[in-house]
Amino acid sequence: MIRINTDLKVAHYYGAKCVNGWNVQQWEREIALNEVLVMTPQILLDGLQFSFLNLDLVDLLIFDECHHASGQNPYAKMMKEYYYKCQSKPKIFGMTASPVIGKGVSSNTDCEDRMAKLEDILDSKVYTLEDRAEVDMFVPTPNQITKYYCKPSSLHDPLKLKLVALRDKEIQNHFSDHQFKDEENFMKKVTKKVEKIYGNIIYCFENLGFICAYKAVQLYIAKPLKKVQGSISAFLTDVLELFEQTLPADMDKLFRTAEDISNAVKMGLLTPKVHLLVQLILQQRSPGMMKRCAVLYSLKE
């Protein structure tokens, strides 16, 4: 961005560039040829430690994510070990969206203490914006909207009860087949795995609908079987058969139009949550214009 928006001579340095093997002459050449040197803090710290670089030659030192300047972080080490020894200290400009991080912050006093320590380490003052109007002129701000959707259908509640029965049956079968104490830990792992798979399937069922839960089971079946998961493959097979017995005929034809998707919601195949998401995505489509959508989600392990 600096190179694009200014006429400054910019160079950047990273491990794959093999800068760790450079000597003082190579660094002197880079300093002579460039006005802005962009690098990771560790590269700068290594250069200072080997006397290849000297902060006296720097007019402005910019720290990105400067809240990391604490403890043994390279930011903190270069400030403590080299900055305060400079004859001609560079100006410091630190950037962060969260000047206070970490555990133990529970009051305004704690925040003030953390910011005071950050100011001491960076020999700087913390400033923040009171009015975002000027920033919003240059940085696009998303227009946040809130949407509501109905509860999912209860048409497939009997199927959920059958899943509970399959889960309990699988756990009981393993405990009845293995009575030796040396297999106790293994059985705990199997039980935990069954509970986890069952929980993930139910999570998909309740939040996304029957079809998505069915796809989740297919993904589990397709995974390479490890020792523990291999021991419960029968459970996954039984669950898959249970879903397939409930699948509607001509399922592939159910999602061709917006009306089809509305009908799928009424049948409990999709949740109103998924239906709303599809509607929101379709609303953003513009004829003749390519648009991309990013769907962010929290991964449930």
Instruction: Name residue 199's amino acid.
Output: G
Q: Is the pLDDT confidence value at 227 over 60? A: no
Q: What is the pLDDT of residues 95-137, one digit of tens each?
A: 988 877 766 666 777 778 888 999 999 999 998 877 777 777 7
Domain count, the chain: 2
State whether 178 and 213 are in the same domain: yes
Higher model confidence: residue 204 or residue 141?
Answer: 204
Would you say residue 177 has pLDDT above 60? no
Helix (H) or strand (E) holding 189: helix 184-207
What is the residue-averaged pLDDT of the chain?
Answer: 85
| Judgement on whether residues 128 and 241 belong to the same structural domain of the protein | no
Give the closest residue to 8 by CA, choosing from 59, 43, 52, 64.
59
Same domain as 124, residue 6: yes
Q: Is the pLDDT of residue 224 over 70?
A: no
Task: State pLDDT tens for residues 17-61.
Answer: 889 889 999 999 999 999 999 999 999 999 999 999 999 999 999
Residues 184 and 67 in one domain: no
Q: Which helix (H) or strand (E) holds 182?
A: none
Please check whether residues 205 and 274 belong to one and the same domain: yes
Tell me: do 103 and 182 sit in the same domain.
no
Asked if residue 174 has pLDDT above 90, the reply is: no
Identify the CATH number of the domain in which residue 116 sits: 3.40.50.300
Q: Residue 181 above 60 pLDDT?
A: no
- At which of 136, 166, 193 does a domain end? 136
SS3 294: coil
Over range 67-81, report the average pLDDT.
93
Q: Give CA–CA dist 71/233, Å, rounded.
A: 48
Residue 301 has pLDDT above 60, yes or no: no
100 and 162 in a single domain? The answer is: no
Pairing of β 36-39 and β 91-95:
unpaired
Q: Are 175 and 248 contained in the same domain?
A: yes
* Boundary (domain end) residue, out of 70, 105, 136: 136
Are residues 87 and 190 both part of a single domain? no
Contacts of 49 (CB under 8 A, 6+ apart): none
pLDDT band at 182 (very low <50, low <70, confident <90, very high): low
* Chain position carrying tokens 């990013």: 294
pLDDT surpasses 60 at 88 = yes
Residue 279 lies in a domain: yes
Output the pTM of the full model.
0.55
Judge if 71 and 130 occupy the same domain. Answer: yes
The whole-number pLDDT of residue 183 equals 65
Element of type H or E holding 282: helix 272-283
Query: Residue 230 — pLDDT band, cuts 50, 70, 90?
Result: low
CB atoms within 10 A of CB 72: 6
Give residue 257's pLDDT. Answer: 78
- pLDDT at residue 54, rounded to an integer: 94
Give the pLDDT confidence score for residue 38 in this predicted structure.
96
pLDDT number for residue 242: 92
Does a structural domain hold residue 141? Answer: no
State the residue range of the domain holding 120: 2-136
Query: In the beta sheet, which residues pair with residue 62?
Result: 93
Question: pLDDT above 70 covers what percent of the chain?
Answer: 90
Asked if residue 128 belongs to a domain, the reply is yes
